[in-house]
Structure 1
Amino acid sequence: MAAENIDDVVDGLAGIVREAGRAGDRVGYFAALYRQVTVEVRTAIHGGLFDDGARMDRFDTLFGNRYFDAYDAWRRDQSGPRCWRETFGLLDDADTVIVQHLLLGVNAHINLDLAIAAARTSPGEAIHALRRDFLLINDILGRVVLEVQDSVGALSPLMSLLDQVGARTDERILDFSVRQSREEAWYNAVLLAGQNEEEREATIERLDIRAAVLARLLARPGGLVRPALQLIRSTESDDVPAVITHLDNAMERPSARQGTG
């Protein structure tokens, strides 16, 4: 599939979510999260939040097409970027917890695709004018992450308990990690925007390798993390379609955070 604008991106993601729900395919987990982020970005564009709404539409379309290309390549012959192969390769692994699936998608899309999409949106010196709008997405992404985290808590009782005990520390860490990744993505976007084709290919190769290594660490952590994840997984819902539906409605559900101090 190929999107021509942000509406196409939303529709394409919604289609993946629907099909994943029917098939009980865990690819719908990240797709549901990504759809909600894209809807929020589209709302911000229509609301005039960004300096250049038309540019952000182009940017989000290029960004979305990176995901669609990786998804189509995997479905076709399990090809595509290394980091996406690592991510999609765990979809049939029943031992991988919900949050791992989400983080694996976030890792590939931010640590590889984001810089490429930004550099293609604003090549050369034009990249610097994109920075403010690029950073505004951090706030949108952070807000969606918090709401989806609440949804995960309803599906994963032990994760919810750890969330309460940790006073939402895990969310702050996740939000900080996403912001740090996006800062690095911005640095790489500036780098890519100023490179020739041969240099860009080498940089993209390096980014893909690094994101693939991070994916393996997320998928197969060592030490005490692995048994902890196994314990968390034992309490999670095995109803994949229900999980997808729950995650896909996270931004429409009244937040448990509302009304609290």
Structure 2
Amino acid sequence: MAHCEHHAPAAESVDTVISRMRALDGALPARDGIAVFNRVYLAVTEAVGRGIGTGRFPDARAASALDVRFAERYLAAVDAAGRDDPPPACWRPLFQFRRHPQVRPLQFALAGVNAHIGHDLALAVVDTCRALGCEPADLEDEFERVGDLLVTLEERVREELTPGPDLLRIADPLAHLLGCWSLERARDGAWAAARALWALRRLPELAGEFADRLDTAAGFAGRLLLTPLPAWAR
């Protein structure tokens, strides 16, 4: 497999985006929906940083560039909301429901993961290819290893934030919400979308429409994941 040329550096470093997420963690109330997702994403980004440092990625610079551009899309949504500007459609449900008392922490975490993978990841691959002068195929190894870390983290999130078996009965609405979304499927979809966007790069109007559809679809899925649950189901 060919490797990227690396003629353009990442806008920020992995350490920089980790610092920004740690600052958010310290500033937000623990129960805030953005804070719940931020803790999840911070753990992933720290794991990627360790992986880059220990040689887990075949091309450390490409992995760092992809990780940073991926994180920057989430942080840009946070910055937009802080200015009272509307964030991308994929993030809007999480910002709208972040303080809803009938939305559980696991729902916040998965809605954030859905927004970030269902929309941001494909665009981050394209951003990285443009910056480093390479094709999506050149980033496939890095994409897969980041995806493996995300899957591991999703398993941990479900273990830590899901009620125990005695509480999560089959009749619990949360059980149905958990069954309607899959990180593996979202990751596969993100890779296909990245390749499609790259193929459409010389047709900016069509590429923009495709990206808008991704954004809208991720926002719709996020709104479903954040369905408030009645008090008897909590």
State the TM bucket, normalised to the shorter chain. 0.7 to 0.9
Change (3 A) 1:201 1:14: same
Q: Summarize deviations over 1:67-98 as a string: whole Å, max 9, x none.
A: 01111111211412112111110012111011
> Residue in 2 aligned with 1:81?
88
Name the stretch that deviates more: 137-146 or 92-101.
Answer: 137-146
Q: Which amino acid aligns with 2:154?
A: V
Match of 1:72 in 2: 79
Q: CA deviation at 1:119?
A: 1.2
Are the structure 2 counterparts of residues 98 and 199 from structure 1 closer, same or farther at C-alpha, using a change threshold of 3 Å? same
**Runs of at least 5 residues in structure 2 that lack an aligned partner in the other structure:** 1-9
Q: 1:54 aligns with which of 35, 57, 61?
A: 61
Q: Is the 8 A contact 2:33 2:95 kept in 1?
A: no
Alignment-derived partner of residue 100 in structure 2: 93
Measure the CA separation in 1 of the matches of 2:18 and 2:94. 21
2:6 corresponds in structure 1 to none
Alignment of 1:126-137 (within 5 A): 126-137=135-146
Residue in structure 2 matched with residue 141 of structure 1 by the alignment: 150
TM-score by length of 1: 0.74
TM-align CA RMSD: 2.5
Deviations 1:92-137 (A, max 9, x none): 2111011110111011100010000011112486111211221122
Q: 1:199 to 1:163 in 2, by over 3 A?
A: farther
2:188 pairs with 1:183:
yes
Q: Would you tell me which structure has more helix in proportion to its own residues?
A: 1
Contact in 2 for aligned 1:97/1:232 (Cα 8 Å): no
> Hey, what does 1:218 align to over in structure 2?
225
The code of the aligned residue for 2:185 comes to Q
Q: Structure 1 CA distance, aligned partners of 2:60 and 2:223? A: 36
Q: Contact 2:136/2:195 (CA < 8 Å) preserved in 1?
A: yes
Opposite residue 73 of structure 1, the aligned amino acid is: A
Letter in 2 for 1:185: A
Q: How does 1:102-121 map to 2 (within 5 A)?
A: 102-121=109-128
Q: Which residue number corresponds to residue 18 of structure 2? A: 10
Question: What is the aligned-residue identity percentage?
Answer: 30
The structural deviation recorded for 1:46 is 1.0
Distance 2:49 2:166 in 1: 33
Matched residue count: 214
Q: Which residue of 1 aligns with 2:161?
A: 152
Aligned equivalents of 1:17 and 1:60: distance in 2?
19
Structure 1: segments with no counterpart, 5+ residues: 154-158, 234-261
Supply the AA of the counterpart residue of 2:40. Answer: L
Q: Determine which of 161, 165, 168 is the counterpart of 1:161.
A: 165
Aligned partner of residue 160 in structure 1, secondary structure: coil
Change (3 A) 1:163 1:129: farther
Out of 10, 18, 34, the position equivalent to 1:27 is 34
Conservation of the 8 A alpha-carbon contact between 1:111 and 1:182: yes
Distance 2:189 2:46 in 1: 24
